[in-house]
Structure 1
């Protein structure tokens, strides 16, 4: 679980860096720091929530797997 939070933190930091570069070089306008923080927090929460939801639906995926059945002739 600790790895999840590190992954989410790295993802949000990469997002902020890319967003900063986009606003500085592509859009060429100043964006307030508050906007960067809000967007990075939103990305962080989204990554954690999507991992949580995928873990919740994981038993459903296992339930639909094919059953292990013995199909050969019996040895007795």
Structure 2
């Protein structure tokens, strides 16, 4: 049964990777909307490439922060 368990683990890893990719794309689209709305409220009209760049930087930072363990916040007593 070890081979079947390995295929199950592989399938679950692939499904998890696809779900994480979908969530990353969705968060990028939401961040684009937020950046455009924020620029509009501030009275700016940036071009699409600057909006996409800033949304990519913000999304990458959020994904990296969510993936990192919060070991610095624990009390090591």
TM-score by length of 2: 0.53
Gaps of 5+ in 1: 55-76
| Residue of structure 2 in register with 1:65 after alignment | none
Higher relative contact order (CA 8 A, sep 6+): 1
Q: Is residue 35 of structure 1 aligned with residue 50 of structure 2?
A: yes
Alignment of 1:1-76 (within 5 A): 1-24=17-40, 26-50=41-65, 53=68
Q: 1:30 to 1:47 in 2, by over 3 A?
A: same
Gaps of 5+ in 2: 1-16, 70-77
Question: Which structure has the bigger radius of gyration?
Answer: 1
Q: Which has the higher helix share?
A: 2
Q: CA deviation at 1:16?
A: 0.7
RMSD between superposed Cα atoms in Å: 2.3
1:12-63: CA deviation from partner (whole Å, max 9, x where unpaired): 1111101111111x11111121111112222343355456545xxxxxxxxx
TM-score by length of 1: 0.54
